[in-house]
Structures are given as C-alpha cells and as structure tokens.
Amino acid sequence: MSFAAKKLGHQDPYWSAELTVAAAVYGTAAHMQIIRYLRANGPSTRRDIARRTGLSHGLAAQCLNKLKSAGVVTTPPEEQVAETYHLETGRAEGLFRALESYLHLGQKDQPDATGSAVVLPLHDGLRRQTG
C-alpha cells in the first residue's frame, strides 16, 4: 500500500485496499490507454500494445506488469515466446465501479441545470442514466 493510501485510509473510513488497487489501475493515462486498447482489440502482445498505443516498449512492459499484478490483465500460462495479454473485463469494470461509487458517495442523483437527469459516464463508452 502506498504512503498516500495509508494516510488517506486513516482520514477516510470509506477508503479500502480495493480502492487503492483501483486508483493505481486507473491513475495513469498509460494504464487507461492499455485497458481501452485491449477492450477494443482483444488479446494482444506487448509489442502490438506498445506500437498501437504509442507507448514505449519499456513503459508498456511496466504498465502491463502492474495491470497483471492487479488482476486486470492476464497471460495464459501456456504462452512462452510472445506473451499475449488478455483483459479481464469483469475485474477492470469492478475496479472502475468501486472508484465511481467512492467518488459519488453521499451524493444524491440530481438533475443538471436543464432539469434533465444527470448521465454519469462509465468505462469505455458505457453509460448509466441516474434519476
């Protein structure tokens, strides 16, 4: 657990270890680019992910290792030459929902300035209407 998470945990009773993981997963643009790429394109090698997202090979490798340790991406054990990374959609969406729930904690769904229901964006184009 990072220093920031420890400090926040003492001040915020709603913070959890799962939120620490979620913040690490969705806390960088590079992680989000990789998640979005895998969601749109399916299983891919690190080389393809780096090339298609514009990330350096080193940064892609570092991010994929972190995403793998968080359970957001997996590699089948039988692949030995060029690992193919698979998005664990349920895990990725679960972490995203945990962040969303935390961010909206204590807020009542209220209409926007036009009187329409507020629409909250969800992961990768999915949307949920409130109200």
95: its two tokens: 């972490």
**46 phi and psi, to 5 degrees?**
-60, -40
Confidence (pLDDT) at 74: 95
d(C-alpha 44, C-alpha 86), whole Å: 7
Confidence (pLDDT) at 50: 97
Cβ(104)–Cβ(120) below 8 Å: yes
Q: What is the C-alpha R_g of the chain?
A: 17
Q: Give the DSSP H/E element, type plus range, for residue 87.
A: strand 84-87
**Distance linking the first and last C-alpha atoms of the chain:** 36
Q: Where do we find the tokens 């329409």?
A: 116
**What is the chain's pLDDT, residue by residue, as a tens digit (131 residues)?**
343 445 555 578 888 899 999 999 999 999 999 999 999 999 999 999 999 999 999 999 999 999 999 999 999 887 666 789 999 999 999 999 999 999 887 665 544 555 444 444 444 444 444 44
Confidence (pLDDT) at 108: 57
Q: Where do we find the tokens 């220093």?
A: 3
Confidence (pLDDT) at 125: 42
Confidence (pLDDT) at 130: 42
117: its two tokens: 């229901």
d(C-alpha 28, C-alpha 32), whole Å: 6
Confidence (pLDDT) at 98: 93
d(C-alpha 31, C-alpha 38), whole Å: 11
